[in-house]
Amino acid sequence: MSITPQKEFTVLQPSVAWEDPHAWTDATDSLSVRAAAYEALVQYAPGGHYKPVLASSWRIAPDARTWTFYLRPDVPFHDGETLHAHDVVSSLARACAPDAPGLYGTGGLCHSYLGDASVKALDAHSVQIVTPEPMADLLDLLFKIPIVSQHALDDLSQRSAGTGPYQLLTAPDAGVVTMARFDDYWAGRPPVERLHWRAEKDTAQRVSALLSGDADLVTQISLEERQFIETMGQARVVTADGHLAVIFMCNARSGPCADQRVRQALNYALDMSRVIYAIKGGAAQPLNGPLTPAHLGYNPETSPYPYDLGKAKALLAAAGYADGMTLTLDVPTHSPDEASALAQHMANQYARIGITVEIKTFSDRPAYAERVKAKQINDACAFDSSPLSTYRCLREKFHSGVAGSWWQGYDNPEVNALLERAWATVDDAQRQGLYRRAYRIIRDDAPWIFFYSPTDFWGVGPRAQGWTPQVDGLVRLI
């Protein structure tokens, strides 16, 4: 993922903002800017594992509740302070406050997990975290929490006080953030002297800037733009499987989707290969359940739902809908951006098995998220499941005892028991096995209509040769 040293480097992405480092988000645009200036104790690695960052090592007790993290010595912050265990304690306290901000209904999310945890400095370079309940997946939360100099916690809007490879150079402006190389970066001198982040919503304009040399790296390009870039020959395209799951959540509490047979029929009745070709030009992988291959709990032995109209009709008939039914779908105008198009494909394909689809569109995306969070959806709602955390995905969406933010009424005691065992299982391989068993049951119960995980594309100019994305899909230049 390395690039050659550069004096100037420009990244174009749909949005750019200098935000509170402890505002919870899964948006890659925000996280890429954040990751240039701030670091967490650990970083996500392939297959749902983790690698050391500010914590050089850690250990977990057999009770899956007591964690000890050992910090790297002599790590400097941008403000001249040196990393101390108290910085970790204060950063976690701030990030886990009940009023901590968050995007699209995630405000206070960390508090719901760690609000009652004990976090204390054992000495200058070690921190102990004790959770009230077993939490073998604690790293799934900590990799999203930047560590900030405790001397700067009250003044983060106009400066950076992290340990990352770049520090804020100028006061952030709307759609523009400029950073300078942090020459004292603990992991070695970063390759770029001046790093410019610029927002450009129009995809064609991002590609044009890349080809003209006004940008060195552009994110979120389409399959058509990939082909155009490759035809022009002035830049190249980097491709990677994404970790986003595009789905429709079913209302399993009331209405027709409370019946498992109806939910299964809705999956069997979709010709997913045709949908993927029509919506994504083939640049996506069909989901075989609620996770992607990037997740720890992904089960490669589980198959996606096959296209089978006969089985779909038989299931509907068994559920009492032999003469047809009406299905009401909620769709936002963005995130996922293709939600309206997906709903139209569903309407067209479901008509073949006697389902009449009504589509309700919502333009206010934050309000839509709150509606889903409040469990006020109609029969099903379009959503994108973005966390890289298997723990969060399954706990917040499928455990009926937790009934988390995005849970919509699904209830299977066997799944609950498997998840609870996984949360208390320290060994990664054993925990993965439990998650995979739960994963297969969830797929078969079909609480979601499983669509796909899109392929991600980046346009890379001559000065970015050698750059490759990591599993989290963020732009990192180190």
340 and 437 assigned to the same domain: yes
Q: Give the C-alpha separation, 206 to 219, whole Å.
A: 8
CATH number of residue 119's parent domain: 3.90.76.10
264 and 327 assigned to the same domain: yes
The one-letter amino acid at 261: R
Give domain status of residue 339, yes or no: yes
The model carries a pTM of: 0.94
145 and 251 assigned to the same domain: no
CA distances from 227 to 203, 207, 325, 461, 466 (A): 14, 11, 42, 15, 20
Confidence of residue 46 (pLDDT cuts 50, 70, 90): confident
The answer to whether 333 touches 366, Cβ cutoff 8 Å, is no
Instruction: Map residue 298 onto helix, strand or coil.
Output: coil
What length does the chain have? 478
pLDDT surpassing 90 at residue 74: yes
What 8-state DSSP symbol labels residue 102?
B
Q: Give the C-alpha separation, 51 to 32, whole Å.
A: 18
The answer to whether 23 touches 100, Cβ cutoff 8 Å, is yes
Residue 201: CB atoms within 10 A of its CB come to 10
The stretch 31-46 carries a mean pLDDT of: 95
295 and 399 assigned to the same domain: yes
Among 156, 178, 195, the domain-final residue is 156
Confidence of residue 101 (pLDDT cuts 50, 70, 90): confident
CATH number of residue 363's parent domain: 3.10.105.10
336 and 193 assigned to the same domain: no
307 and 390 assigned to the same domain: yes
134 and 200 assigned to the same domain: no
Cα 56 off chain centre by? 25
Give domain status of residue 76, yes or no: yes
445 and 332 assigned to the same domain: yes
The answer to whether 78 touches 167, Cβ cutoff 8 Å, is yes
Instruction: Map residue 457 onto helix, strand or coil.
Output: strand
Structure tokens at 102: 């968050």
pLDDT for the residue 285: 97
The contacts found for 348-351 with CB under 8 angstroms, 24 or more apart, are: 349/269, 349/270, 349/271, 349/275, 350/266, 350/269
The one-letter amino acid at 155: D
Structure tokens at 162: 């992290």
Handedness of CA 277, 280, 282, 284 (dihedral sign): negative
> Which residues, at least 6 apart from 297, have a Cβ–Cβ distance to it below 8 Å?
48, 291, 390, 393, 394, 422, 432, 435, 436, 438, 439
Give domain status of residue 30, yes or no: no
227 and 370 assigned to the same domain: no
Angle CA 83–88–93, to nearest 5 = 150
The answer to whether 243 touches 295, Cβ cutoff 8 Å, is yes
What 8-state DSSP symbol labels residue 79?
T
146 and 54 assigned to the same domain: yes
The one-letter amino acid at 112: S
Give domain status of residue 231, yes or no: yes
Cα 390 off chain centre by? 10
Q: Which of 37, 29, 170 is nearest to 478 (CA)?
A: 37
CATH number of residue 174's parent domain: 3.40.190.10
CA distances from 411 to 228, 329, 389 (A): 47, 21, 21
The answer to whether 204 touches 212, Cβ cutoff 8 Å, is no
Confidence of residue 26 (pLDDT cuts 50, 70, 90): confident
Q: Which of 20, 281, 289, 334 is nearest to 154 (CA)?
A: 20
Give domain status of residue 174, yes or no: yes
CA distances from 156 to 108, 143, 167, 252, 320 (A): 19, 20, 12, 43, 58
Among 94, 124, 156, the domain-final residue is 156
Find the domain containing 177 and state its range: 1-18+164-235+461-478
**Beta strands 245-250; 236-241: pairing state:** unpaired
Question: pLDDT tens for residues 306-317?
Answer: 999 999 999 999
Give the residues across from 8 on adjacent strands: 194
The answer to whether 348 touches 318, Cβ cutoff 8 Å, is no
313 and 428 assigned to the same domain: yes
Give domain status of residue 190, yes or no: yes
The one-letter amino acid at 421: R
Among 156, 176, 208, the domain-final residue is 156
Question: pLDDT tens for residues 434-471?
Answer: 999 999 999 999 999 999 999 999 999 999 988 999 88
Q: Give the C-alpha separation, 105 to 395, whole Å.
A: 16
Give domain status of residue 181, yes or no: yes
398 and 334 assigned to the same domain: yes
Give domain status of residue 240, yes or no: no
The stretch 371-397 carries a mean pLDDT of: 95
Question: pLDDT tens for residues 162-200?
Answer: 999 999 998 778 899 999 999 999 999 999 999 999 999
pLDDT for the residue 216: 97
Handedness of CA 152, 153, 154, 157 (dihedral sign): positive
Question: Residue 190, CB half-sphere, CA atoms under 13 Å: how many?
Answer: 25
Q: Give the C-alpha separation, 248 to 452, whole Å.
A: 11
Number of domains, the chain: 3
pLDDT surpassing 60 at residue 1: no
Instruction: Map residue 349 onto helix, strand or coil.
Output: helix
